[in-house]
């Protein structure tokens, strides 16, 4: 049994950023800021959700660790994950690219778009705009995705109530372990064991839980949701903070990625990666205990991934 407050004390790897957004929100009374997406009224039946994600070379990715196609995929995937976390369906996207001279004069951008469109086609997302600019060095990507959800039905971070049960899709820790493999000098191209490749792909080519989010929305039993980008512990804290609740997480129920078993001998170490690693882009959500029976299809959903 883990106490939530204890868990989150060690993993504030972006110190200042959350506080900054919080300050901005208070100073300018920004009601729409603070969830995975902003929610805007569209028409009588529909709300619109919109998200932006900035990816910076050598901060969020390294060109020598990834392939252009993976990076194009991931740039879209992280924004689709935000849309999914609202229980919404992605529709349109924009892409702003700051491109260094040497990247501009290679086949990088063509391959980047191949990866981007390959994922976009899977979910019928249309590219409608963006911007292209030169940068002196280091690629910059701003990914914007617009989605739609039934009016008033966007699933916020703030809807969790005391007594709700906490769920997470998929397995955790794989993306962080994949990142560690690359930090240790393994490049994707040279990897042999399937295990290493699978973990690395969790980091380089994450799958946004768009379809699962759609099914959960239909069930209409989810009270709050967030995607796991910073790590289970951080993102659960965000959800708790917005909902004004606390949380208890049972260590033995955390779905640690099985591929971590060979790489990390200590169970404690595996657990910490699953808790604090981040970038798994699974969905974390809460369900009232009375609705537990509605989650009967859950096993099916999970295996459908």
Strands 89-100 and 140-150, by their bridges, are antiparallel
Task: Using only the alpha carbons of the chain, give its radius of gyration.
Answer: 19
d(CA 224, CA 136) in angstroms, rounded, equals 42
Task: Pick the closer one to its own copies by CB: 43 or 189.
Answer: 43
For position 138 contacting its own copies by CB under 8 A, the verdict is yes
The nearest distance, CB 278 to its own copies, in angstroms, is 14
Q: Which of residues 57-86 bind its own copies (CB under 8 A)?
A: 58-60
For position 43 contacting its own copies by CB under 8 A, the verdict is yes
Helix 194-204 to helix 68-84 angle (10° resolution) is 60
Task: Pick the closer one to its own copies by CB: 33 or 290.
Answer: 33
Residues 6+ positions from 189 with CB-CB distance below 8 Å? none
For position 50 contacting its own copies by CB under 8 A, the verdict is yes
The nearest distance, CB 120 to its own copies, in angstroms, is 9
For position 20 contacting its own copies by CB under 8 A, the verdict is yes
d(CA 52, CA 144) in angstroms, rounded, equals 4
d(CA 223, CA 289) in angstroms, rounded, equals 11
* Dihedrals phi, psi of 274, to nearest 5 degrees: -65, -35
Q: Contact, 167 vs 224, CB < 8 A?
A: no
Pick one of 71, 84, 85, 144: the residue that binds its own copies (CB under 8 A).
144
Pick one of 7, 8, 37, 199: the residue that binds its own copies (CB under 8 A).
37
Site residues (CB under 8 A) for its own copies? Answer: 14, 16-17, 20-21, 24, 28, 30, 32-33, 37-38, 40, 42-44, 50-56, 58-60, 92, 94, 96-98, 104, 109, 113, 117, 126-136, 138, 140, 142, 144, 146
């Amino acid at each position: 049994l883990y106490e939530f407050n204890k868990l989150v004390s060690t993993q504030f790897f972006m110190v200042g950023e959350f506080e900054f957004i919080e300050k901005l929100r208070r100073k300018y009374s920004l009601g729409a800021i603070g969830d995975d997406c902003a929610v805007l009224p569209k028409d009588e039946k529909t709300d619109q959700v919109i998200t932006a994600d900035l990816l910076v070379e050598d901060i969020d990715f390294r060109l020598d660790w990834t392939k252009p196609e993976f990076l194009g995929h991931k740039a879209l995937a992280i924004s689709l994950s935000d849309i999914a976390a609202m229980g919404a369906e992605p529709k349109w996207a924009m892409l702003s690219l700051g491109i260094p001279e040497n990247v501009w004069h290679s086949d990088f951008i063509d391959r980047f778009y191949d990866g981007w469109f390959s994922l976009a086609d899977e979910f019928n997302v249309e590219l409608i705009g963006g911007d292209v600019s030169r940068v002196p060095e280091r690629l910059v990507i701003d990914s914007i995705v617009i989605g739609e959800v039934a009016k008033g039905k966007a699933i916020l971070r703030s809807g969790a109530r005391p007594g709700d049960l906490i769920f997470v899709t998929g397995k955790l820790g794989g993306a962080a372990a994949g990142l560690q493999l690359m930090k240790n000098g393994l490049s994707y191209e040279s990897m042999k064991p399937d295990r290493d490749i699978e973990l690395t792909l969790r980091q380089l080519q994450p799958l946004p839980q768009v379809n699962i989010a759609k099914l959960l929305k239909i069930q209409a039993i989810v009270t709050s949701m967030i995607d796991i980008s910073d790590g289970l512990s951080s993102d659960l804290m965000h959800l708790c903070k917005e909902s004004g609740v606390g949380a208890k997480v049972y260590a033995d129920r955390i779905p640690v990625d099985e591929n971590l078993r060979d790489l990390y001998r200590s169970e404690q170490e595996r657990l910490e990666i699953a808790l604090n690693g981040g970038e798994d882009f699974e969905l974390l959500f809460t369900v009232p205990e009375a609705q537990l029976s509605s989650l009967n299809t859950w096993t099916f959903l999970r295996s459908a991934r």
